[in-house]
């Protein structure tokens, strides 16, 4: 009788001990860690990450990956008016109107395009978010002043703005980045401010105020983390538009004057003149821009899902 009772008690203790154990990776893990874990399980995220990583790899190791010198006008002699040599032995994608290897130019172009995209987006996002936080955190008069300032930037056509900045700063690649960044600022500022204003009205902010939490702590500890997900998505979309905008500026002759640095956007715009002769010259840079933009978008979208606790299971 007592033996049976002991067995039962032992069994209960055993079960209780097991119930107390937290399975590995469950329970309290940090936000970033669990977001990363969910990212790894998401095929869309993996696809996006692979695309982005491949292009980053190509950009980093361009000198080793490119089959030829992107500036050498090797086949210039075979370029005639109305005819540009197509793919052939040693030139898998053909050459451009100056007889330079297209593949090598694409490989080298990834450096400049990614650099412009990343730097100008980061710059635009940082300044825009700073303005957004200012407006969203204080509200009232500060909000009005900041937002009217942002509206002024927004009211100037972005190309006109970029041209003015290029004139002011001189024609170089940094001016190009700053010009694109300035046009990104209003988007980030408005987005963050709007989502912070929405969060400010939420119950948990009222609850935090009811507990006497300081305003700075409420803004940076509570409101901001909940307002970031649309900004992250916008960041990835902006990366794509920044590359395209750089192309537009190059087309207007406001791009990087250094011809030693091939760039997809500039390649795309010069290829326009030869569209009827050799469409490939425009298609390949366009495909590169689209795929990179897609990669960043996929990654950003799944990042948002992973960071949003509401999507967690």
Partner 1 sequence: MSIEAMPPEGALRSDVPVLEVEDLSVTFTRRGEQPTRAVDGVSFSVSAGETIGLVGESGCGKSVTSLAVMGLLPKRGVQVGGSVRLAGTELLGASDRTLRRLRGSEMAMVFQDPLSSLNPTVPIGTQVTEVLVEHREMGKREAATEATDLLDRVGIPDPARRLKEYPHQLSGGMRQRALIAMALACSPRLLIADEPTTALDVTIQAQILELLRELVVDSGTALVMITHDLGVVAGLCDRVHVMYAGKVIETADRYELFARPRQPYTGGLLASVPRLDAGRGVPLTPIRGSARDAIPWAEGCAFAPRCDNAQDDCLTEVAGSTVPLEYDGPGRELRCRHPLSYPQQTPAGATASGAGR
Phi, psi of 94 (to 5 degrees): 85, -170
**Shortest approach of partner 1 to residue 15 CB, angstroms?**
15
| Inter-residue contact 102 to 94 (CB < 8 Å) | yes
Query: Measured from the CB atom, is 221 or 257 closer to partner 1?
Result: 221
In angstroms, give the least distance from the CB of 136 to partner 1. 16
Nearer to partner 1, 61 or 220 (CB): 220
Measured from the CB atom, the residue of 29 and 252 that comes closer to partner 1 is 29
Question: Exposure string (b/e) for 36-48, b if CB count within 10 Å is 16 or more?
Answer: eebbeebeebeeb
- Contacts with partner 1 by CB under 8 A lie at 20, 22, 27-29, 31, 202-204, 206-214, 217, 221-222, 225-226, 309-310, 312
Provide the minimum distance between the beta carbon of 235 and partner 1 in the complex, in angstroms, as a whole number.
Answer: 18
Cβ nearer to partner 1, comparing 110 with 229: 229
Q: Nearest approach, Cβ of 28 to partner 1 (angstroms)?
A: 2
Would you say 60 or 217 has its CB closer to partner 1? 217
CB of 286 to partner 1, least distance (A): 39
Nearer to partner 1, 42 or 226 (CB): 226
Cβ nearer to partner 1, comparing 22 with 160: 22
Closest distance to partner 1 from the beta carbon of 215 (Å):
8
State the minimum distance, in angstroms, from the CB of residue 226 to partner 1: 5
Phi, psi at 101, each rounded to 5°: -65, 120
């Amino acid at each position: 009788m007592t033996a049976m009772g002991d067995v039962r008690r032992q069994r209960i203790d055993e079960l209780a001990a097991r119930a107390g154990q937290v399975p590995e990776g469950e329970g309290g893990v940090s936000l970033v860690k669990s977001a990363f874990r969910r990212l790894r399980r998401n095929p869309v995220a993996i696809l996006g990450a692979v695309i982005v990583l491949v292009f980053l790899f190509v950009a980093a190791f361009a000198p080793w990956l490119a089959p030829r010198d992107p500036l050498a006008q090797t086949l210039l002699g075979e370029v005639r008016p109305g005819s540009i040599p197509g793919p052939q032995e040693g030139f898998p994608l053909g050459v451009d109107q100056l007889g330079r290897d297209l593949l090598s130019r694409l490989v080298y172009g990834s450096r400049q395009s990614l650099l412009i995209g990343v730097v100008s987006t980061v710059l635009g996002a940082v300044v825009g978010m700073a303005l957004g936080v200012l407006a969203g955190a204080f509200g009232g008069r500060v909000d009005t002043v900041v937002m009217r300032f942002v509206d002024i930037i927004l009211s100037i056509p972005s190309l006109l703005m970029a041209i003015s900045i290029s004139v002011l700063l001189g024609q170089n690649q940094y001016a190009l980045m700053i010009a694109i960044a300035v046009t990104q600022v209003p988007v980030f500022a408005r987005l963050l401010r709007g989502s912070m204003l929405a969060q400010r009205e939420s119950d948990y902010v009222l609850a935090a105020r009811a507990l006497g939490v300081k305003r700075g702590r409420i803004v940076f500890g509570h409101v901001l983390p909940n307002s970031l997900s649309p900004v992250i998505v916008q960041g990835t979309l902006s990366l794509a538009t920044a590359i395209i905008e750089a192309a537009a500026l190059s087309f207007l002759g406001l791009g990087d004057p250094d011809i030693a640095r091939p760039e997809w956007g500039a390649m795309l715009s010069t290829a326009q003149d030869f569209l009827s002769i050799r469409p490939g010259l425009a298609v390949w840079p366009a495909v590169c821009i689209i795929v990179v933009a897609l990669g960043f978008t996929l990654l950003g979208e799944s990042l948002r899902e992973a960071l949003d606790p509401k999507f967690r299971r």
